[in-house]
Every structure is written in structure tokens, then in C-alpha cells.
């Protein structure tokens, strides 16, 4: 691995809004990373981004992978393009931070992970929200039994209808509310219950013109009769929240998944007919994510989080949602782990 005073050198594939608004500012502010090259389909776009963020090189996606000075590739492309460029990046010997959702199917996710393992590189699915300290505070409240026995998780994420030419509304690019929004509360429920689901029932509603899913309702059963309800919508007022109902109290988030780095977070704790607000200082969740990943790359074993296993577990749940909707039935998770669809 190339290192510059302990820094991880990064190449960016995709000049997306997320890259410009969130990822690149976070990387620029970190002492652990250096953005070496930015790649785009448009040379003018990559040059513009490189100039704005003080990056010395720019070019095409292939130029990024051919660059011998980088250790890690940040893939910020539409979901439908992730597998191709992740596999190529792995083949080039680069570690990978891949924007969520990792890809469009379980088999695709498995191909990505196999490519990474074959080439001895690591991959992280970019759910940066999980690194925000507000979720550590919730986990602390659960450990210290403030909520009692957990009963249900309710998660919702949605926003006004995207424009017709937005990648979220293009089926061929992996658009749709499941890949773009429902994935967040699904992931959050796994984090809160600290285990994997056993059963899924799901329903997706499709936009007739584009063919993409614009509403998702997901019922997830966890061990111990714990239940998660997930809702995601294109075409509603903005909502980014979850709540946890326990035997002693309820905890809810004001803004759970997409929280600007300069905003304080609020956790509402309701017990004994009293509602208290717990404030959490602003944090750059993307920076915390990339630095956690880089810590592991610089010193294997530095973190306790298995990036590849989590990507695989999330992909299994997402696939179960797709199957449940398509076949109009309850799907057991063990069907995807050990059944006819094959074991990883």
C-alpha cells in the first residue's frame, strides 16, 4: 500500500452531488486521507472537481484505476454501475468505499465481495449515518437498559418526487426508493437489534412511466419476536427518522440518516409521561466513516467491524424484500443463506 505520512491516498470515480456536497469536503478536512485523482465521464467535470477540491490529477474512470499512487477508490456512481467498477477496482488492487446501496441484487453483491477477496482488498458499503455519534448514544441507552426490552423499530425515509431525469428515476441505473432510501432504515434496524432478520414481508409500488419503485413498505421479523416496520417514499414531505419502542421507554430521532455536518442532533426520550430531548454535538459522519475504514486499512484489526460481512448481510435483506414483493409472500432469510439460491 502506498502511504504518505500515514495517509490513505484516494481516487474518486464519479462526480456526483454526494461527492461534491458531502464526500470530498469530508476527505479534504481529514488528515488521514489525500484525494489524488478524480475521475468522470466528462474530462471537463473531473477538471472542475479537481480544481475545486485541490486535487492535482483528474481524468476518466480508467485513469483513476490505472493510477499507481492510490490505495482506495471511492465509487460514487448510480447503483446500477457499482458492480462493474467495484470489480474493476478490486482487479486493480484498490480498496473500495462504495456508495450505498452496494448494488442491485444479492448475486451482484456476492460477485463484488468475491472479487475483493480474490484480490486481497477491502470493501465498505457507504452507510455513513451509522458513524454519527447520535447512534452511539442510542446504543448506550439500550445497553444501560433505559429502554428496557426492545419491542419494535419504526423507520422512515422519504422526500419529494425526484425529477424524471434524476438517476433515482432511471430503472437501468438502479433507481428506485428501495435502493435509494429504504435501505437506510433497513440497515438501521439491523444496527439497533444487533442481529439479522429471520423473515421479511414487503410491498413496492411502481411509477408507471419510469418503472421504478417509488414506495416501499417492509415488515421485518427479528429473533425474540422483535419487529421492524420500514417505510420509504418518493413523493412526500421530507422525513429521515426512526423510533425504538421498548418496555420502559421510547427513543426517537429528529433526523437519523441524512444530517448535515454542522447540525446538532436530537434524540427524544419518552418515559413516564415525560419527554426529554438529548442533544448531540454536530459531527461529520462521512469523515468519521472514511477515517474508521482507513484505520483498518492502515492497521488491520484496528476496528471490530467486518465490512464485507455487513455488505453481504444487508444485500441478503434487500434481496428478500425484492423476492417478497415479486412473489407476494413471506420470505425467510435462511432461504437466501442456505437454500436453493445458494450459499455465499
How large is the average pLDDT for residues 56-83?
Answer: 98
pLDDT at 341 over 70: no
The pLDDT of residue 337 is 76
pLDDT at 266 over 50: yes
The pLDDT of residue 6 is 76
C-alpha cell at 322: 425484492
The model's pLDDT over 230-265, given as tens digits with 9 standing for 90+, comes to 999 999 999 999 999 999 999 999 999 999 999 999
- Residues of CATH 3.30.360.10 domain(s) within the chain? 130-287+317-335
How far apart CA 135 and CA 257 sit, in angstroms, is 10
CA 276 to chain centre: 29
How large is the average pLDDT for residues 30-44?
Answer: 97
List 274's β-bridge partners, or say none.
271
How large is the average pLDDT for residues 25-47?
Answer: 97
Q: How confident is the model at residue 267 (pLDDT cuts 50, 70, 90)?
A: very high
The pLDDT of residue 342 is 36
Between 285 and 342, the higher pLDDT residue: 285
The model's pLDDT over 134-153, given as tens digits with 9 standing for 90+, comes to 999 999 999 999 999 999 99
Residue 27 region by backbone torsions, left for phi larger than 0, else alpha for psi between -120 and 50, else beta = alpha
Whether residue 156 has a cis bond before it, omega within 30° of 0: no
The pLDDT of residue 343 is 33
How far apart CA 246 and CA 248 sit, in angstroms, is 5
Q: How confident is the model at residue 338 (pLDDT cuts 50, 70, 90)?
A: very low
The pLDDT of residue 1 is 57
Mean pLDDT score across all residues of the chain: 95
- Residues of CATH 3.40.50.720 domain(s) within the chain? 3-129
pTM: 0.95
3-state SS, one letter per residue, for the chain: CCEECCEEEEEEECCCHHHHHHHHHHHHHCCCEEEEEEECCCHHHHHHHHHHCCCCEEECHHHHHHCCCCCEEEECCCHHHHHHHHHHHHHCCCEEEEECCCCCCHHHHHHHHHHHHHCCCCEEEECHHHHCHHHHHHHHHHHCCCCCCEEEEEEEEEECCCCCCCHHHCHHHCCCHHHHHHHHHHHHHHHHHCCCCCEEEEEEEECCCCCCEEEEEEEEEEHHHEEEEEEEEECCCCEEEEEEEECCCEEEECCCCCCCCCCCEEEEEEECCEEEEEEECCCCHHHHHHHHHHHHHHCCCCCCCCHHHHHHHHHHHHHHHHHHHHHCCCEEHHHHHHCCCCCC
Domain over 130-287+317-335 is classified CATH 3.30.360.10? yes
How large is the average pLDDT for residues 200-205?
Answer: 98
C-alpha cell at 306: 467486518
The pLDDT of residue 339 is 40
Residue range 3-129, CATH number:
3.40.50.720
The model's pLDDT over 102-118, given as tens digits with 9 standing for 90+, comes to 999 999 999 999 999 99
- 12 touches 24 (CB < 8 A): yes
Amino acid at each position: 500500500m502506498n502511504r504518505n505520512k500515514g495517509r490513505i491516498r484516494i481516487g474518486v470515480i464519479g462526480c456526483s452531488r454526494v461527492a461534491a456536497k458531502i464526500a470530498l469536503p469530508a476527505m479534504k478536512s481529514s488528515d488521514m486521507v489525500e484525494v489524488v485523482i478524480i475521475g468522470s465521464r466528462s474530462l471537463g467535470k473531473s477538471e472542475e472537481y479537481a480544481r475545486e477540491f485541490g486535487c492535482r490529477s483528474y481524468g476518466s474512470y480508467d485513469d483513476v484505476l490505472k493510477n499507481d499512487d492510490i490505495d482506495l477508490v471511492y465509487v460514487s456512481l448510480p447503483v446500477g454501475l457499482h458492480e462493474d467498477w467495484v470489480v474493476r477496482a478490486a482487479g486493480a488492487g484498490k480498496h473500495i468505499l462504495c456508495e450505498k446501496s452496494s448494488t442491485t441484487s444479492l448475486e451482484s453483491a456476492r460477485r463484488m465481495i468475491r472479487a475483493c477477496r480474490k484480490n486481497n482488498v477491502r470493501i465498505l458499503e457507504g452507510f455513513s449515518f451509522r458513524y454519527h455519534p447520535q447512534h452511539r448514544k442510542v446504543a448506550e441507552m439500550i445497553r444501560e437498559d433505559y429502554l428496557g426490552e426492545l419491542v419494535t423499530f419504526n423507520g422512515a425515509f422519504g422526500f419529494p418526487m425526484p425529477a424524471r431525469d434524476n438517476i433515482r428515476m432511471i430503472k437501468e441505473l438502479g433507481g428506485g426508493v428501495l435502493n435509494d432510501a429504504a435501505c437506510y432504515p433497513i440497515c438501521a434496524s439491523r444496527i439497533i437489534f444487533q442481529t439479522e432478520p429471520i423473515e421479511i414481508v414487503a410491498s413496492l409500488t411502481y411509477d408507471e412511466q419510469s418503472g421504478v419503485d417509488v414506495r416501499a413498505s417492509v415488515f421485518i421479523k427479528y429473533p425474540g419476536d422483535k419487529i421492524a416496520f420500514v417505510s420509504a417514499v418518493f413523493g412526500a414531505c421530507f422525513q429521515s427518522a426512526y423510533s425504538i419502542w421498548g418496555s420502559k421507554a421510547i427513543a426517537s430521532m429528529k433526523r437519523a440518516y441524512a444530517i448535515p455536518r454542522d447540525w446538532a442532533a436530537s434524540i427524544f426520550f419518552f418515559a413516564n409521561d415525560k419527554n426529554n430531548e438529548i442533544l448531540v454535538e454536530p459531527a461529520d459522519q462521512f469523515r468519521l466513516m472514511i477515517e474508521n475504514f482507513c484505520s483498518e486499512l492502515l492497521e488491520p484489526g484496528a476496528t471490530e467491524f467486518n465490512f464485507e460481512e455487513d455488505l453481504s448481510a444487508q444485500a441478503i435483506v434487500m434481496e428478500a424484500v425484492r423476492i417478497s414483493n415479486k412473489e407476494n409472500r413471506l420470505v425467510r432469510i435462511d432461504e437466501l443463506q442456505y437454500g436453493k439460491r445458494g450459499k455465499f
